[in-house]
Amino acid sequence: MNFKEKILKLKQKKDAIILAHYYQNGDIQDIADYVGDSYYLSEIGRNCTEKNIIFCGVRFMAESAKILSPNKKVFLPNLNASCYMVSMANAKDIEELKIKYPNAKVVCYINSATEVKAVSDVCCTSSSAINIVKKLDSSEIIFVPDKNLGSYIQEQIPDKKIILWDGCCVIHDRINAKNIIEAKKKHGQDLKVLVHPECKKEVRDLSDFIGSTGDILKFASHNNFKKYLIVTEDGILHKLKQKNPDKEFYTLNMICKNMKLTTLKDVYLCLENLENEITLDENIRKSAYRALKNMHILGR
């Protein structure tokens, strides 16, 4: 019996649900009960009936699931799976910024530490950010930690002042306009460019569509164009190709090594032993819960 077969057998025995982000390796996505972007997976984790959540992603995702579901046990199959952006913002500096801008609401991207969520008014994902910021009753918004997503929000909501933090996803931020132009020269000018809002403005300006991983998947699946340049982490290709076998997809070799750390063996051992459980300080968890709860209320 291979790891995949063992995992599928163990899931029921352990009363566990397996969640996987689109950026995970294809074999991990294939054994998951649900595959999606951060917002979708946070909804699934919050509403599922299983008592054990195996989260195949990076640590902040598993922590978010624990924040929303304190009575469930949440496990991260590989504890080394972190996110570079999370380390770019801390609660102390945000508290100081709140003193400087006393009337501002703090919106934190879900790619942030639990301690940062705890001092924020509301959390958001790339798919829910615009809706949430529009609904906030403040003309000033402190947005942490992604400056690129923050600048995109500013473009979409010009009547509000977005106070940006100097953080980013290093995988998305390294892409520039030249990369897009060269890809179109190589693959044809009819190439449709689908871009994640974590990319720089110069890249977004050359796009045909801007959206979260889930939004990119929907766009490519529901349109008749045949050739796409996918400007986000390469893991999304797995679902894109499964759902659209007749279409061509090209990428810019955007690979997050941390997202690729989780293996089938990790998932098996995690399930077999119920190891690598995520635990949080309860006071911090309660404060962070407010921001995530507001995300689900305002993000609809």
Q: Where are the domains of the chain?
A: 3-82+260-279, 85-168+284-298, 171-251
**Residue 96: what pLDDT?**
95
**Residue 169: what pLDDT?**
97
Domains 85-168+284-298 and 171-251 share a fold: yes
Q: Which CATH superfamily is domain 3-82+260-279 in?
A: NadA-like (3.40.50.10800)
Longest dimension (CA), the chain: 60
Q: Cite the beta strand spans of the chain per DSSP E.
A: 16-21, 34-36, 52-56, 73-75, 105-109, 122-124, 140-144, 161-164, 192-195, 209-210, 227-231, 248-251
Three-class DSSP category at 273: helix
* Total residues found in the chain within this entry: 300
Neighbouring C-alpha atoms within 13 Å toward the C-beta of 133? 33
Q: Which CATH superfamily is domain 85-168+284-298 in?
A: NadA-like (3.40.50.10800)
Which residues of the chain register pLDDT less than 70?
none
pLDDT digit string, tens, across residues 188-243: 999 999 999 999 999 999 999 999 999 999 999 999 999 999 999 999 999 999 99
| Range 171-251 classified under CATH 3.40.50.10800 | yes
Residues 6+ apart with CB under 8 A from 54: 16, 17, 18, 19, 75, 77, 267, 270, 271
**Residue 70: what pLDDT?**
94
Handedness of CA 252, 257, 258, 260 (dihedral sign): positive
Residues 6+ apart with CB under 8 A from 11: 17, 18, 33, 271
